[in-house]
A and B are shown apart, each in its own frame.
Chain A
Amino acid sequence: MTIDWSHFTPWSSLAGGALIGLAAAMLVLLSGRIAGISGIVGGLLVPRSGDIGWRLAFVGGLLVAPAVMAFYSVNPRIDAGFGTLALAGLLVGVGTSYGSGCTSGHGVCGLSRLSPRSLVATFAFMAAGIATVLVTRHFP
């Protein structure tokens, strides 16, 4: 294994991670909810009355974040084509619904709560992600 020192950003990643934790803290301590993005979005697709406003507000916050952070330049490296992106999006939509969570719900909130379910889920999606990258990047 070689470390990619040129892209390694421990401090900004740690600080960004702490902000993500702070956001999860705000949501649970003020609204009593889990900051799981797939769950919040999924709840909008099968809406129940009285359970829509906070979800829309949270997603709205995510969508305006780039405008607030306009001074901070990110150069996203997206090498997947549109076909791969569509397939990947479909798998992520189906998988997070079936597995009841994603990187935020299971990975951040679930692990923070020491949930055994989330620990298993996080291992599963990490392993699947690592295996997928191994196959797609190292077996042409």
Chain B
Amino acid sequence: MNILAALASGLVFGIGLILSGMTDPGKVIGFLDLAGRWDPSLAFVMGGAILVGFFAFKLAGRRGKTFLGGALQLPQRRDIDARLVAGSVVFGIGWGLAGFCPGPALVSFGSGIDQAAVFVAAMLGGMVLFHAAERLLSAR
């Protein structure tokens, strides 16, 4: 059931990304381009998602477990550290360069777009590189 729920969630997420315009890097860059011709659409994507998400997470928190009886596995950390900010800045630079973030890139890869395949391969490489570096540093 868990697997089926995750599959359905991924599918609905992907459909939402396509419908919202997030799979068009030009639209993403249009949103980030405050100095140019600004396309505010993505604020509506965030607004719509958070409006629904807010009540969902409130309900999940109140129940304390899932509707399938499983445990909630939510992040517990509340500290704000340099790592969080630096990592997010590096992510933002990559996002602004190409107009792809992980979700839309994977969906576009699913559409068979070559540029998305290159982006996804590099992104996976970056993740592997990061984990390898972290393991190396923590082993010392």
Contacts and interface: CB of A to CB of B under 8 A. Distances in A.
Interface of A: 1-4, 7-10, 12-35, 37-38, 41-42, 45-46, 53-55, 57-69, 72, 74-80, 82, 84-104, 106-117, 120-122, 124-134, 136-138
Contacts of B102: 37-38, 41, 92, 96, 102-104
A121 B88 contact: yes
Interface of B: 1-27, 29-30, 32-42, 44-57, 59-60, 65-68, 70-75, 77-80, 83-103, 105-111, 113, 115, 118-131
Contacts of B29: 133, 137
Contacts of A57: 3-4, 6-7, 10
Given A85-B118, A97-B130, A138-B36, A18 B51 contact: yes
A25 B61 CA distance: 12
A8 B30 CA distance: 10
Contacts of A102: 91, 101-103
Contact residues of A: prevailing secondary structure: helix
Contact of B92 (A26, A76, A125): A125
**From DSSP, what is the main secondary structure of chain B's interface residues?**
helix
A78 B13 CA distance: 21
User: What are the 8 A-B residue pairs with the smallest beta carbon separation, nearest first?
Assistant: A93-B126, A61-B10, A99-B87, A65-B14, A16-B20, A17-B48, A128-B92, A77-B26
B41 A25 contact: no
9 contacts: A9-B41, A30-B67, A63-B109, A66-B108, A69-B19, A74-B23, A112-B57, A117-B77, A133-B34
Nearest to A77: B26
A94 B42 CA distance: 24
B84 A21 contact: no
A19 B15 contact: yes
Contact of B25 (A18, A45, A46, A80): A80
